Each structure stands twice: as structure tokens, then as C-alpha cells.
């Protein structure tokens, strides 16, 4: 009988979650949803010097914002909690003691200086650095002497001779010779657990069946398997591993918190839609086939399989993410576009949120929906409609103060003042007839000065529709002000 899939996303939030974290969470979530399994969310917060309550809450909020809802974990609960490792320290201590009692682990009294001296000697001898097993079989007298010195021992797992081979769903069979996997620390001298102990114990106790995680953790797998063995887990009950390929930056280095703008909070602030981020991250190492790149969250749950994840590194391409985000923005209904845009407009101080302002924003949004790639562009595009003390942007003033621009603005004012109907069709007809046909100007020259005078910038929504929304009185007043410049 096939076991029901249960995957876990278990970040150690020492800052905002970044691209690598979220791609792992996305693949875990998609695999759980595709198989009808369980998506477990766990926080690895035993490093109290770096993990804060603020970062933990930010991780929770980020998953919610992305739509990666979990079935078991913080705020949701479940039968295998608590889901913060800092609340499970007693569990790890019990297992560490059990390993000591079983002789699977032992106390190591080596000091940091002694360990460094061993590593230096190994490097000098061109030997792979690692623990030399000095404390594996101490006598009672040696232990008593170390205790008399006041040394606080760590707990080390005893690695057997031979090697570890396991099947990775992405990489096939992977083998490690234990000559290169020395006895490793489970518990620090102060009693706090290390990652390898906590993660393995939790995965077993929380009944995780599949571990999808980054390739950087591949080398820790034989250590986790050793913990499973010491826990008495049957081979068929070991979690199945799938190590995801690295995400590389444009500099060919592994993408990390220190390599570019990779914080999801940064993308959120810039105005990337969560579905666009998920769509793009899904393509980093996975493909649905048939050159199909515009993937919805529903399609992702239907199409995602671990077998289609590549083993080769993926390259992060900001331009492609921007293109996908632009496509997702264009696919929004106007009401959806409005909901996403309003927070950016209010945060930028463009609007206060009155009903009249929102109504005007809704009329203006169709003018820019095809023109932007990020929601953070909305305030700059629409602020001309709401600014109370209007002024032409400093870098645009010179473009409407020459003689040619003056003639354009004078003629525009003359043609627009008599208009009885103020709509984009009548505005366009009047300006094209006078500026293009009669004055013989090219559209860029003819309409550029009017655009700057009425919107304050060389970049704006379509000119005639913008002037319609701005209104006749305000449009003419701004053209007159432009002439005064």
C-alpha cells in the first residue's frame, strides 16, 4: 500500500525568506497538492541568536501572501506539534540521551583549539579534514580528568564503517563513503541541539514521507539517515529525498541572501504579484513541457511532479520574471487591478482613499494596464491626476521652454478652449488637425510638449485619455502654466 505523501517546509528564518526558500516551499506545496498529500510547515528556530519572532511572523505572512497554505503547522495546528523547534528541546534531549544509552553516540570533550589543531595537521598531511575519533572510547579515568577540568562535552553520533547509499528522486542513487562523513555533533556543550539531530527527529516524529530541499543539504543526508537508524526506524519508513538544483545568479554564483535582490519582501514591495513569483520560481528547475510557461497555481498543482525537476542548476533571470509579472498584471480584471494598486497609491501618498479618488483611479487604470510591469509604477503614472500643487518635473522643464514648444502650447490652447465636448476623441481631433496637419509637426514633437505640460512628465498614460480624466479646466490651466515657464 502506497503511503500518503507528507512533505515539510522547514525554514530557519534569520531574515526575510528569499528566492531559494520560496522555491523549495512552492515545490513542496505543489507536490502535496498534486498527490493529495499533506503540506507541513515547521519553524527551525533553535538558533536563538539569529531567529527572531519578527522573522518567524514574516515567514508565516510571506507564505500566506503567496497562497502557499499549509495543512499542519503554526496557526493551523495538527497532531504532531509543537511546530517551532524551540518548543521541542525536551524531545531532542530525550533522543540524544537514548543514543548515548544505546552507544550510538558518545560524549566528546575535545576543545575548539584541540579540534583546530587536528584539522591543521590533517590539512598539512593532505587528508580530508574531520573529527579523528579521539573521544570515541575514552576510559573512565580520562572522562573523570576532563570533567575535573570543567569541560562541557558535546554529544557526537558514532558513524559506522562503510558507506551510505540512498535513492534521490532527482539524482538517482547517491553514495557517501563514511571516510568522508566523520562522527558529527548532535548536541552542543550547552545542551542545545544541532540541525542534524532536530531535523531528523522531527521528520520521523511528524511522519514526513518526502523531503524536498536544496542541493546544498545533500551532504547532510547520510547524517540524517544515521539518526533514523539510531531511532530504530525501518528502512522502508525512511523519508524519500529529492534535492533541488541550485539557483544561480547572473554572476554564475549560487543565488543567496548576499547575491542581489533575492528577498521575497523586496519583490512584494516592488509590486510583483504572488502568482507571478510562483509561476516564475516554478520554472527554475522544473518544466511542464511543451514550452508552456504561463502557469497558474491550479495548473501547477495539476502538472507538478518531482520526476520533471531537473538536476542541473537554474539561472535566475530578472527580465523574465518582470515579463511574467507584466503578463499577470494584464490578465487581471480591473477590479482586481484596483485592489492590488490601491495600497501602492496610498503608501506613496498619491491618494487618501476617498470614494471619489478610488473611482477616478478605476477609470485611469485601463490606460496603464498594458504599460507597466510592476505595481510600484502605478503611483508615478497616476499622480498627475491627484496632485494639488502641480509642477512640471525638473528634468522635463527644459523640454517645454524652447520656442517650438511654446508655439505648440499656444496653438493647443487656442484649439482646446472652444471645445464644447471634452473627451479623448474631441481632444485628439482638435490637436491632430492643428498640430499635425496644419503645422506639419511629427506626433512626438507635437504632443510631447502637451504631455509634459498636462502631466508633468514625459512618461504618462495615453495623452488624450489622460486629459479627459484630468478635465478641461485643469488641463487648460496646466497648459497656461507651461507657457508661463
Q: Spell out the alpha helix ranges (H) of 241-377.
A: 264-270, 274-282, 297-303, 318-330, 334-347, 355-368
E strands, 104-225, in order: 105-108, 154-157, 163-168, 172-177, 184-187, 210-214
Q: Which three cell numbers stand for residue 422?
A: 471634452
- Would you call 233 exposed, middle or buried from its count of C-beta atoms within 10 A (0-12, 13-18, 19+)? middle
By CB atoms closer than 10 A (0-12, 13-18, 19+), residue 351 is buried
Look-up of cell digits 499533506: 38
- Rounded CA separation 450/457 (Å): 10
Taking the C-alpha atoms of residue 191 and residue 153, their distance in angstroms, rounded to an integer, is 9
**Is 83:74 a contact under the CB 8 Å cutoff?**
yes
Ligand-binding annotation for 237, yes or no, is no
Examine the residue annotation and report whether 257 is marked as an active-site residue of this protein: yes
Known binding residue 278? Answer is no
CA distance 37 to 400: 63
Catalytic option among 98, 207, 254, 257: 257
Contact 109, 196 (CB under 8 A): no
**Grid cell 464644447 — which residue?**
420
What is the rounded CA–CA span in Å between residue 261 and residue 321?
Answer: 13
Q: Are 455 and 466 in contact, with CB atoms under 8 Å apart? A: yes
For residue 108, say whether it is annotated as part of any ligand binding site: yes
Distance of alpha carbon 137 from alpha carbon 348, whole angstroms: 67
- Contacts by 152-155 with C-beta closer than 8 Å and gap 24+? 152/189, 152/190, 153/107, 153/108, 153/109, 153/189, 154/107, 154/108, 154/185, 154/186, 154/187, 154/188, 154/189, 155/96, 155/99, 155/100, 155/105, 155/106, 155/107, 155/108, 155/185, 155/186, 155/187
Identify the helix (H) or strand (E) that includes residue 96.
helix 89-101
415: Cβ contacts below 8 Å, ≥ 6 apart? 430, 431, 433, 434
Give the whole-angstrom CA distance, residue 383 versus residue 343. Answer: 14
Helices 334-347 and 355-368 pack at an angle, to 10 degrees, of 110
Residues annotated as catalytic (active site), given as ranges = 257
Annotated binding site for Zn(2+): 108, 110, 135, 137
Annotated binding site: 108, 110, 135, 137, 257
Annotated binding site for ATP: 257
Amino acid at each position: 500500500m502506497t503511503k500518503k505523501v507528507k512533505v515539510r517546509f522547514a525554514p530557519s528564518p534569520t531574515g526575510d525568506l528569499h528566492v531559494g526558500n520560496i522555491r523549495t516551499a512552492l515545490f513542496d506545496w505543489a507536490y502535496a497538492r498534486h498527490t493529495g498529500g499533506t503540506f507541513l510547515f515547521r519553524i527551525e528556530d533553535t538558533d536563538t541568536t539569529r531567529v527572531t519572532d519578527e522573522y518567524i511572523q514574516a515567514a508565516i505572512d510571506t507564505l500566506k501572501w503567496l497562497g502557499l497554505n499549509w495543512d499542519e503547522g503554526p496557526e493551523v495546528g495538527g497532531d504532531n506539534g509543537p511546530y517551532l523547534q524551540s518548543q521541542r528541546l525536551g524531545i531532542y534531549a530525550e533522543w540524544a540521551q537514548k543514543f548515548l544509552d544505546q552507544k550510538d553516540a558518545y560524549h566528546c570533550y575535545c576543545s575548539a583549539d584541540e579540534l583546530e589543531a587536528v584539522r591543521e595537521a590533517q590539512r598539512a598531511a593532505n587528508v580530508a579534514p574531520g573529527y579523528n575519533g579521539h573521544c570515541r572510547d575514552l576510559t573512565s579515568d580520562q572522562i573523570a580528568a576532563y570533567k575535573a577540568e570543567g569541560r562541557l562535552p558535546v554529544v557526537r553520533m558514532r558513524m559506522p564503517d562503510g558507506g551510505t547509499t540512498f535513492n534521490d528522486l532527482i539524482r538517482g542513487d547517491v553514495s557517501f563513503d563514511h571516510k568522508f562523513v566523520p562522527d558529527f555533533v548532535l548536541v552542543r556543550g550547552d545542551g542545545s541541539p544541532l540541525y542534524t539531530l532536530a531535523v531528523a527527529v522531527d521528520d520521523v516524529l511528524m511522519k514526513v514521507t518526502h523531503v524536498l530541499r536544496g542541493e546544498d543539504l545533500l551532504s547532510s543526508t547520510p547524517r540524517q539517515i544515521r539518526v533514523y537508524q539510531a531511532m530504530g526506524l525501518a528502512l522502508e519508513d525512511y523519508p524519500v529525498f529529492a534535492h533541488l538544483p541550485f539557483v544561480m545568479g547572473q554572476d554564475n554564483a549560487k543565488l543567496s541572501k548576499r547575491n542581489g535582490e533575492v528577498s521575497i519582501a523586496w519583490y512584494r514591495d516592488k509590486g510583483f504579484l504572488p502568482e507571478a513569483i510562483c509561476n516564475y520560481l516554478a520554472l527554475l528547475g522544473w518544466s511542464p513541457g511543451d514550452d508552456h510557461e504561463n502557469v497558474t497555481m491550479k495548473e501547477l498543482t495539476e502538472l507538478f511532479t518531482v520526476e520533471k525537476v531537473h538536476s542541473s542548476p537554474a539561472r535566475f533571470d530578472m527580465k523574465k520574471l518582470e515579463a511574467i509579472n507584466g503578463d499577470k498584471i494584464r490578465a487581471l480584471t480591473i477590479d482586481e487591478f484596483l485592489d492590488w494598486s490601491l495600497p501602492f497609491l496610498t503608501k506613496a501618498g498619491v491618494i487618501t482613499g476617498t470614494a471619489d479618488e478610488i473611482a477616478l483611479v478605476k477609470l485611469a487604470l485601463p490606460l496603464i494596464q498594458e504599460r507597466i510591469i510592476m505595481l510600484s509604477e502605478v503611483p508615478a503614472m497616476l499622480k498627475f491626476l491627484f496632485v494639488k500643487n502641480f509642477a512640471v518635473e525638473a528634468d522635463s522643464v527644459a523640454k517645454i521652454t524652447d520656442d517650438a514648444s511654446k508655439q505648440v502650447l499656444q496653438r493647443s490652447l487656442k484649439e482646446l478652449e472652444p471645445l464644447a465636448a471634452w473627451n479623448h476623441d474631441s481632444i485628439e481631433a482638435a490637436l491632430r488637425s492643428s498640430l499635425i496637419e496644419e503645422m506639419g509637426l511629427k506626433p512626438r514633437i507635437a504632443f510631447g510638449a502637451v504631455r509634459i505640460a498636462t502631466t508633468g512628465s514625459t512618461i504618462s498614460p495615453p495623452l488624450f485619455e489622460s486629459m479627459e480624466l484630468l478635465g478641461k479646466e485643469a488641463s487648460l490651466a496646466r497648459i497656461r502654466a507651461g507657457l508661463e515657464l
